[in-house]
Structure 1
């Protein structure tokens, strides 16, 4: 069994690390054959303007005076070219945006996380396929395309990175620098025969990266005058560059111009997520091979932008950002970027149907080439019998066998079990799903014969289930400390302790005095904890700091919380209650409000669960009910007394997993764990120590876990359930982990990606951690220490 658990643990560690190998490694493949359209292209050269951080609405809308902020661009839309919105993907950052524009694929997170100025993964791009490319702009963007290019045909001209100053008074200088250097470049080319010859070649690209708008947006917000005035400056600069190109090339009609943006920006000056203000960017194209404006009477779009922009009569052609790369390559006749996934937007093209058809076919073959190479690579590293296409007949046979299938009871059980798993998965996103599950638990006894056999137990189960269901509805972040609730929880613990002590006083056995002494020590510990919480709060309010005596008592209580229960009787009820008292003393010291009541309510439900499982098994005739005061935890249990697993044991395992998830999310969630209240540890220390404070908060989170696992140990014992049932628990956890495995995101905002990883890590950690937690629960429940002398043999 030890070997089996060790092997299982190793496998789960492999699964834990697998997401980083599967989701966060580059999906790019190499070795494809370049594909290009064989017909003559419409343009000899292409000019790409990328206004970094420019929102579509801010460019297209009219200002308060009813005039355009970019009159030149608007004139293009109405009289010369085609326009639309380029829909970007998240994360809406500069690097992935430019990669999508120029290389035609949406860069994976593994590459984005490696850097912005470098080219950490080898990918093909429009620049690499061009005869020559000249680019001007930010040193953060240009080098990554030059480094990935083969040969020496991509030239970059960047300003000093110190110019990118969010605190600068005039960020438009970043754009005027680009425009001025482009004009100087062409002026210099007239006197340089080698350069003049190169820029008169075909299949060449000029890239102007304009960072001023993005910088002003970060510094002053997109609604600011600085941001909007920068758009006017860019519009003027684009007008000058276009005029210069037409003049330099003698109006030969062989230049294509594309104006777009890598991403937008929120109203508060940020980007990276998926808000429409970040994902909707402008796209305006004109020149060689581009369709002229098309007048329409109506257009079908889900948004109301057209009327706001007063462009409802000019046909809007929306694209995905990666589609711009194949559009540019088809215009100048270079091979499609090898890793491109963009689909050619043929509506932008002004050419023959034959050219459009050939271009679309080339685009399709280029994407197919990636599939072929990927399939070949997979086939080479996969066992032959595992690399087999799915057959419809196999699926049909499976469905048929399921429909004809071991019984209606089993199918119903399976459906309920599946629904329960989904509730657990959804609880990671919506805590109130735990409330729904606990409410269903409350109704469960009344739908079975339990209600007729054990009315008091059924009513207790329903009461505590509903009471526990309240906690997931409570707030988790930003709650104000309420010491009165902590004091109230302590009083409830003392009240329960008084009942136990009273019952011990009535006993006549020889161990009465020893048990009574242990419980009195725990009562004293609870009283001291309540005093420390109240005293510390008062001292901190008077700004007198943490009293030394309070600190000593707190640490002593924490140190003794795992030892004192081992002095109590191994009888199920006494041992579990002793564990509750010891852990509650520590939990009170770490509580600031209503969460202090949570372990107490959870434990009450656990005690009822033990009783109700006894009733459930007794009605099936498997075993006879015994008093919890007479059943004892034993370290050396005879495994021959354990019965075979029944279908109902799956429900018991599911209850355990559900209670564990409730223990984790009952008073918190991902946000509350990441931003916990430091006031929780003020009884132990007030000087900032992240590791010590984090360890204390982790123990606070684990205490409800320990209570649940100890209760499950009792369920296993009282129902004669084999320890193999714990494997069912691991299977349920693995099914949940499989859900989150497929929900891991390697795209989207950093928050979306991080949250999806956190969910998977939590579930996989729970699966791994349950093995260790099960060992701790066995230690707490079965180990027996004596205050003096040797333990009696029947206690071990």
Structure 2
């Protein structure tokens, strides 16, 4: 059994990792030659302001009194420069946003998990191509561009990480720190001859990263006075910075200013997904080389928004976020970042048509070279007769477009040059995507074959070991023929040789060779397969069809719940009425009514909103009082049952009561302190971390109390009550089924060494129990939030533990909060398994088969087209199901650790205590 679980774990780790090789690989290629526009650039220097977390609508919209929130920026839009909306991609996080802005490509989603400061892959950037770059701001953003730069020409000035405190009195200090340090920098520059000389070079960049707006948005939400006042602070600071640069450089007219944001923010203060409030960011450009404002009578964009912003008569020029990098490169005359996939927005340029055409031509050649390198790399590792080139951009097509563009350039037909270059860029980007996903279908087929084989093998193992479907007809197992293993060995050798010829990565060998031993194991059980078919043919057709339909319907309900949380409500309502269609209602009315009541209560939670919630301390305190009441009832019961008042169990429950009281006090005190903007009290922080450690159901609920927003503390409480009733209900079901045991159980040890498969075989009711477990696990995941989207969770839930920005620590705390209901379900299932005398191995295999069928569903539902939100969500669904499958093994052990050591049955089975 241990060997099977180890092998099963390895198989699922491979299936889990496959999604990263198929859908989440780095799009970067290396070995290209830098390209830059051969004409003199309009600017000598560029100043990039990035207001982290700034929404486009909040900046452009007038305030309640009809005045602009950023009067200086507004004045620039109307009198000095060009403006528009920059469209970001998912994930709308700080790292990918800045990489798109400064390096010109959309970093692989998995890079967010690999590091916030370190580069998972090396990439070229505007800073690297510049002569010198000076940057000020967050220690989380600046290092990634300095460490990726060649030589020593990118200088960073960052504050300490402790300043990024969501509970601080004034987060605008993060921005004023940047402005003050820039002033000090230029004030001291004339006294430093080396620095002064560098500052007067050409092709230099100044980067001001402004984190205050993002911090205030997380802490107080974008609708708050703090967020909007921070915009005014940034506006004043930008105005001062422009004055500083103009004074230092004597108004030489060679400075370009770019003001934008890496991402926006939802109304509830989060970002990471694809809501328009997150993906629409402002872009305002002015100075050298930037076109002046253009008045128009009609625009191609949403007229309602423009009227609301009072900007319907000022031409709006939208771009994709990656387009900003080539724009900045062309303005100061540096090579386009080598991996940039942005298209130069020529509408922003105030220059000759020749300069625009030459710049866009350079842009097209730079992207085309990426396509050529990518094609060459793929061609070198693919057998010639199997290689399928990207036909829309053949060598002859490339040559014709470039030849025509040069011809039109000589004849000064610049509009046609621009059109041809845009076509070439479009085809090159499609070709890059084609070769980037070239092996996707091949790998996907192999993973699906492996998936199907593993699910078949697990199903056969259940039938062979713990079912009477075949036992009556199966004869003594025959010795397998040598032909079968020899055939599979030959297949494995052929597959390995094929991969070797194509110089495939080692992971390809794993994905392609894994199905070989799996299907060998399946076909070895040919006798079981034959007996199973014979048994099913003897089964009543209507009953068999009904069972298959119910099973398929149950799987589809579980799959749909990942997309629509309300499906869980429908399922729980179905669970609530289930006892009324069984003998349970007549024999165990109290238990049945309790089951129905708690099922209906739990069904309310998936109907509640997962985002946009305002903190409600009264609900959190109410949950705490209910937990205390439950604790006191348990203590009273234990005192009545035991002779000694201060037994070990009673003392544990008393400690759990104290942890709950402490959690309530900490939440109340922290909430009050943060409202007064006095930060997180040290005593509260220490107590919060102290109560995070203890185990046991009630202390786990106390931990949930320390991570409140609104109703989340009530969810595990209701779930725990339903799980307790489930244990009783399954005992009643077992009694009614008339199942007899080979031995009477008086004490059951929670131990891996125990094999209770000797007690009885599996029945159809056990399939229902396994389905209940999977359904409750999914409910635990999606009951109060959508784990497929990080937008469903609020950073305020961890403010009792820390308020200083720490992405991994905050993420770990939120994952533990999500994990707690999962543990409660597994503990209950451990009790159900033991009290109903279920064979643990086979029941686990049933759960494994159900979750694997779900995972196969999601594997087919993974998208590589459509919106980035759709793509990311489809991938995260697969990852969630696979993670659930992998961690079931560990959770089973954790459940045994967290439950008490014994189940005592005194009298009737229903008087047991866990």
Q: Give the TM-score normalised by the residue count of structure 2.
A: 0.53
In 2, the alpha carbon distance for the partners of 1:212 and 1:638 equals 60
Report matched runs for 1:82-97 at 5 Å. Answer: 82-88=82-88, 94-97=94-97
8 Å contact kept, 1:257–1:285: yes
Match in the other structure for 1:174 = 177
For residues 597 and 124 of structure 1, do their structure 2 counterparts lie closer, same or farther at Cα, with a shift above 3 Å needed? closer
In 2, the alpha carbon distance for the partners of 1:39 and 1:556 equals 77
Cα offset for 1:50?
1.0
For residues 278 and 4 of structure 1, do their structure 2 counterparts lie closer, same or farther at Cα, with a shift above 3 Å needed? closer
Cα offset for 1:283?
0.9
The SS at the match of 1:470 is helix
Establish whether residue 362 from structure 1 lines up as the match of residue 365 from structure 2.
yes
8 Å contact kept, 2:86–2:319: yes
Match in the other structure for 1:709 = 833
Match in the other structure for 2:32 = 33
What are the superposed Cα offsets for residues 259-280 of structure 1, whole Å, 9 maximum, x if unpaired? 2233456789887777766654
For residues 457 and 551 of structure 1, do their structure 2 counterparts lie closer, same or farther at Cα, with a shift above 3 Å needed? closer
Q: Which one of 632, 638, 658 corresponds to residue 771 of structure 2?
A: 658
| 5+ residue gaps, structure 1 | 399-405, 491-527, 537-546, 559-585, 615-626, 677-693, 717-721, 786-796
Establish whether residue 321 from structure 1 lines up as the match of residue 321 from structure 2.
yes
Report matched runs for 1:13-162 at 5 Å. Answer: 18=17, 27=26, 29-36=28-35, 39-40=38-39, 42-53=41-52, 54-62=54-62, 66-68=66-68, 70-88=70-88, 94-107=94-107, 121-136=121-136, 141-156=141-156
8 Å contact kept, 2:562–2:877: no
For residues 638 and 312 of structure 1, do their structure 2 counterparts lie closer, same or farther at Cα, with a shift above 3 Å needed? closer
Match in the other structure for 1:420 = 554
In 2, the alpha carbon distance for the partners of 1:663 and 1:206 equals 53
Q: Which one of 603, 617, 642 corresponds to residue 473 of structure 1?
A: 603
8 Å contact kept, 1:338–1:366: no
Match in the other structure for 1:436 = 570
Match in the other structure for 1:262 = 262
Establish whether residue 736 from structure 1 lines up as the match of residue 854 from structure 2.
yes
| 5+ residue gaps, structure 2 | 388-436, 450-535, 607-618, 655-695, 702-715, 746-753, 788-792, 799-817, 907-914
The SS at the match of 1:549 is coil
Establish whether residue 308 from structure 1 lines up as the match of residue 294 from structure 2.
no
For residues 665 and 156 of structure 1, do their structure 2 counterparts lie closer, same or farther at Cα, with a shift above 3 Å needed? closer
For residues 767 and 736 of structure 1, do their structure 2 counterparts lie closer, same or farther at Cα, with a shift above 3 Å needed? farther
For residues 632 and 273 of structure 1, do their structure 2 counterparts lie closer, same or farther at Cα, with a shift above 3 Å needed? same
Give the paired residue count: 637
Q: Could you say which structure has the larger radius of gyration?
A: 1
In 2, the alpha carbon distance for the partners of 1:58 and 1:557 equals 51
The SS at the match of 1:324 is helix
Cα offset for 1:33?
0.7
For residues 633 and 148 of structure 1, do their structure 2 counterparts lie closer, same or farther at Cα, with a shift above 3 Å needed? same
8 Å contact kept, 2:87–2:320: yes
What are the superposed Cα offsets for residues 138-169 of structure 1, whole Å, 9 maximum, x if unpaired? 66644432332112333446678899895579
Match in the other structure for 1:240 = 243
In 2, the alpha carbon distance for the partners of 1:43 and 1:71 equals 27
In 2, the alpha carbon distance for the partners of 1:132 and 1:653 equals 69
Cα offset for 1:78?
2.3
For residues 530 and 315 of structure 1, do their structure 2 counterparts lie closer, same or farther at Cα, with a shift above 3 Å needed? same
Cα offset for 1:240?
1.7
8 Å contact kept, 1:610–1:711: no
For residues 411 and 481 of structure 1, do their structure 2 counterparts lie closer, same or farther at Cα, with a shift above 3 Å needed? same
In 2, the alpha carbon distance for the partners of 1:178 and 1:696 equals 45
The SS at the match of 2:283 is strand
8 Å contact kept, 1:255–1:287: yes
Establish whether residue 223 from structure 1 lines up as the match of residue 225 from structure 2.
yes
Match in the other structure for 2:637 = 531
For residues 710 and 414 of structure 1, do their structure 2 counterparts lie closer, same or farther at Cα, with a shift above 3 Å needed? same
For residues 468 and 47 of structure 1, do their structure 2 counterparts lie closer, same or farther at Cα, with a shift above 3 Å needed? same
8 Å contact kept, 1:29–1:370: no
For residues 209 and 106 of structure 1, do their structure 2 counterparts lie closer, same or farther at Cα, with a shift above 3 Å needed? same
Cα offset for 1:129?
1.6
Establish whether residue 598 from structure 1 lines up as the match of residue 601 from structure 2.
no
In 2, the alpha carbon distance for the partners of 1:636 and 1:197 equals 76
